[in-house]
Amino acid sequence: MINLTIDNKPVQVPEGTTILKAARQIGIDIPTLCYFELDGMKFENKPGGCRVCVVEVKGRRNLAPACATDCMEGMEVLTHSARVINARKTVVELLLSDHPNDCLQCEKNGDCELQSLTKRLGIKEIPFKGEMSTYKKDTTLSVYRDMDKCVMCRRCESMCNKFQSVGALSGVNRGFQAVVSPAFDQPLGDSSCVNCGQCVQVCPVGALTLVDNISDVMKAIADPTKKVVVQTAPAVRVALGEEFGMKPGEIVTGKMAAALRRLGFDHVYDTDWSADLTIMEEGTELLGRLQKALKGEEVKLPMFTSCCPAWVAFYEKNFPDLLEYPSSAKSPQGMFGAVAKNYLAPKLGVKREDLIVVSIMPCLAKKSELAREQLSVNGNRDVDFSLSTRELAHMIRQCNLNLNDMPEEDFDSPLGESTGAGVIFGATGGVMEAALRTAYEVHTGKKLPRIDFEETRGFEGIKEATIDFDGFPLKIAVAYSLKNARILMNQVREGNPNGYHFIEVMACPGGCIGGAGQPYHHGDSNIIRKRMEAIYREDVGKPIRKSHENKEVQAIYKEYYGEPCGHLSHEQLHTTYTDQSDKLEATK
């Protein structure tokens, strides 16, 4: 243990503790900007570049960055001496001198870390005037880039490379011209970007923001010729409360349904329902492949889940040779859209074009997913608009509502009932667990001895297990972050040495609960933990916890689809993948 003093207060910390963490331990909150860590998820961005967290260390010539300086025995640290405060203010003033002064109209207004730093340091004017950076604005269907606002914290770059291994973004140029950008300053959409949006989730300022679809949805609701239905993803209900001052992990399913109705949606449904449907399709597909394999037939194993659109984009771009491995099942958003446009619309007595399907997602990639050709019929999309959790919160506030005051209401039927299995889709390992619950019982014809598969849960980046499928050892793996997915895909490329049968992948930290459309967690991984706990709490609270026992799901098979992986379901609930990789094309 190391003894030191911070602001004359003694503190004892284990070796290797940074000044920043030691200070937090005794209630001294040194401000930071570039520093970003997802504790327990092996993600860290610690370039030591912004210099906001500098502190005075006795005996040291210059100021030290608290985020990256380890405590030493006998150290005397001052976090708010006149020298420190002057330096810190000057550094923030410098950042502001190259930052557009448009806070009021900025997407990040109120959520901006630079804004709160400015307020906290009491900066009233910027003494420096000079050249400001100007860059072309750029947008994909999910992510909007306004690099004039970039503060070079490099969080997005770290996310894109170290966490996701997508490699769309890199620091480019140098000096005052340095910025984070795709290669050749090309549009992000032309790069290897998969729209996971994690760059947006970690951006401290308004340089990377989501593409806002609120007005599209409001317009549809206002249009009397349209019937507007909404589906809400499992991870939304455990995070939306945060936007209204509730503690992380508060479950607001009922209040959310009530709010959505008051916003003017004609019907409020649940993506959890289509998650159960997904399990029926995907589980059946898995069993089919396994049975073939057991018979010695040629079949692609392991099977990968396919509900995460960033993941789908990732393997289409990076593993075009392995496109037959992922399940062909559409994602729950996609399945819901297909059911809504094909089955629900006639039921509601509207034409396909007049039914507007809106999804509320914890995700930004869903905004890009819904534009996939495979999810349209004659140019009419199965899902018309996707709003993130944050946009929904905006919309609720915009419409003079407060989620806290909402009554608890239920989803509408027939696409509203869901099981615990559908709920846990929101967390890493959840799709796997849901699939196992169903596949086991369908395959063995026996009741599960235990419903909870603890081995698929938690924040480990890659989880492996062998599940006893009534004598058959089913080898599974669960990964979050595309970097971990890449590790597994490379293994598959090399012949699947670990003999996996089924692999679940989600791109975001901790799964959809840590999605890019969720309320900003600002690097507090405890928030993601609380959301995960809430997901499993909701699961336990459900009377039915296995997808195949969902009454409304059973009903639609009986009434419409016949059987999982049947002809109609193949047509509507399954999809195809195409090679989206960069190709070397030789010319003469």
Partner 1 sequence: MAKYKMHILICGGTGCKSSNSLDIIEQFHQILAEKNLQDEVQVIKTGCFGFCERGPIVKIMPDNTFYTQVKPEDARRIVEEHIIKGRKVPDLLYTDPENEQHVSDSKHMNFYKKQLRIALRNCGFVDPENIEECISRGGYEGLGKCLSEMTPEQVIAEVKASGLRGRGGAGFPTGLKWELCAKNKADQKYVICNADEGDPGAFMDRSILEGDPHSIIEAMAICGYSIGATKGLVYIRAEYPLAIDRLKIAISQAREYGLLGTDILGSGFDFDIELRYGAGAFVCGEETALIHSMEGQRGEPTLKPPFPAVSGYMGKPSNVNNVETFANVPVVITKGAEWFNKIGTEKSKGTKVFALAGQINNVGLIEVPMGITLREIIYEIGGGIKNGRQFKAVQTGGPSGGCLTAKHLDTAIDYDSLVAAGSMMGSGGMVVMDETSCMPAIAKFYLEFTCEESCGKCTPCRVGNKRLCEILEKITDGRGTMEDLTELRNLGNVIKDTALCGLGQTSPNPVLSTLDNFWDEYVEHVVDKKCRAGVCKKLMNYVIDPEKCIGCGKCQKGCPAECIVRTDYIAPGHKLASMRITTEKCLKCGACMGNCKFGAISVK
Partner 2 sequence: MANIKLSEDKIKVIKDIAKSFGNKPGEVINVLHQVQGKFGYLPAEVQEVVAHELNIPVSRVYGIVSFYSFFTMEPKGEHPIDICLGTACYVRGAEKVLDAFQRELNVQVGKCTPDGKFSLNTLRCVGACGLAPVAMIGDKVYGRLTPDQVPGILAEYK
- Site track for partner 1 across 178-217, x = CB under 8 A: x---------------------------------------
103 binds, among partner 2, partner 1, none (CB under 5 to 8 A by kind): none
CB nearer partner 2, residue 62 or residue 587: 587
Rounded-to-integer distance, Cα 168 and Cα 180, Å = 10
Do residues 507 and 314 touch, judged by C-beta distance below 8 A?
yes
Tell me: does residue 444 bind partner 1 (CB under 8 A).
no
Cα-based torsion angle of the residue sequence 392, 459, 245, 23 in order, rounded to the nearest 10 degrees: -140
CB nearer partner 1, residue 65 or residue 241: 65
Rounded-to-integer distance, Cα 15 and Cα 110, Å = 37
Torsion-angle region of 496 (φ positive above 0: left; ψ -120 to 50: alpha; else: beta): left
Tell me: does residue 123 bind partner 1 (CB under 8 A).
no
65 binds, among partner 2, partner 1, none (CB under 5 to 8 A by kind): partner 1
Indicate which single residue of 31, 65, 362, 514 sits in contact with partner 1 (rule: CB under 8 A). Answer: 65
Rounded-to-integer distance, Cα 136 and Cα 147, Å = 8
The residues of the shown chain that bind partner 2, judged by CB under 8 A, are 161, 166-174, 181-184, 190-192, 317, 580-588
Tell me: does residue 19 bind partner 1 (CB under 8 A).
no
243-262 b/e (C-beta count within 10 Å ≥ 16 → b): bbebebbbbbbebbbbbbbe
350 binds, among partner 1, partner 2, none (CB under 5 to 8 A by kind): none
Indicate which single residue of 171, 254, 264, 566 sits in contact with partner 1 (rule: CB under 8 A). Answer: 171
- Site track for partner 1 across 307-346, x = CB under 8 A: ----------------------------------------
Note the Cα 355 to chain centre separation in Å: 27
Indicate which single residue of 12, 128, 245, 291 sits in contact with partner 1 (rule: CB under 8 A). Answer: 128
254 binds, among partner 2, partner 1, none (CB under 5 to 8 A by kind): none
Tell me: does residue 148 bind partner 1 (CB under 8 A).
no
What is the token pair recorded at 582?
A: 């960069």
What is the token pair recorded at 101?
A: 């002064």
- Amino acid 310 reads A
Kindly state the smallest distance separating residue 91's Cβ from partner 1, in Å.
5
Kindly state the smallest distance separating residue 495's Cβ from partner 2, in Å.
19
Coil/strand/helix, residue 189: helix
Lookup result for tokens 């080898």: 475
Rounded-to-integer distance, Cα 143 and Cα 137, Å = 11
CB nearer partner 1, residue 124 or residue 129: 129
122 binds, among partner 1, partner 2, none (CB under 5 to 8 A by kind): none
Kindly state the smallest distance separating residue 100's Cβ from partner 1, in Å.
14
Region 93-122 residues binding partner 1, contact defined as CB under 8 A: 94-95, 97-98
Kindly state the smallest distance separating residue 133's Cβ from partner 2, in Å.
15
170-202 b/e (C-beta count within 10 Å ≥ 16 → b): eeeeeeeeebbbbeeeeebbebbbbbbbbbbbb
Q: What's 212's DSSP letter?
A: P
Sign of the C-alpha dihedral, residues 463, 469, 475, 479?
negative
Kindly state the smallest distance separating residue 19's Cβ from partner 1, in Å.
12
Rounded-to-integer distance, Cα 280 and Cα 299, Å = 20
Rounded-to-integer distance, Cα 233 and Cα 334, Å = 12
Rounded-to-integer distance, Cα 441 and Cα 92, Å = 59
Indicate which single residue of 13, 22, 23, 50 sits in contact with partner 1 (rule: CB under 8 A). Answer: 50
97 binds, among partner 2, partner 1, none (CB under 5 to 8 A by kind): partner 1
176 binds, among partner 2, partner 1, none (CB under 5 to 8 A by kind): partner 1
588 binds, among partner 2, partner 1, none (CB under 5 to 8 A by kind): partner 2
Count other C-beta atoms under 10 Å from residue 437's C-beta.
26
499 binds, among partner 2, partner 1, none (CB under 5 to 8 A by kind): none
Rounded-to-integer distance, Cα 154 and Cα 361, Å = 26
- Amino acid 125 reads E
The residues that touch partner 1, with contacts defined as CB under 8 A, are: 47-52, 54, 62-63, 65, 68-70, 83, 86-87, 90-91, 94-95, 97-98, 127-131, 151-152, 154, 171, 173-178
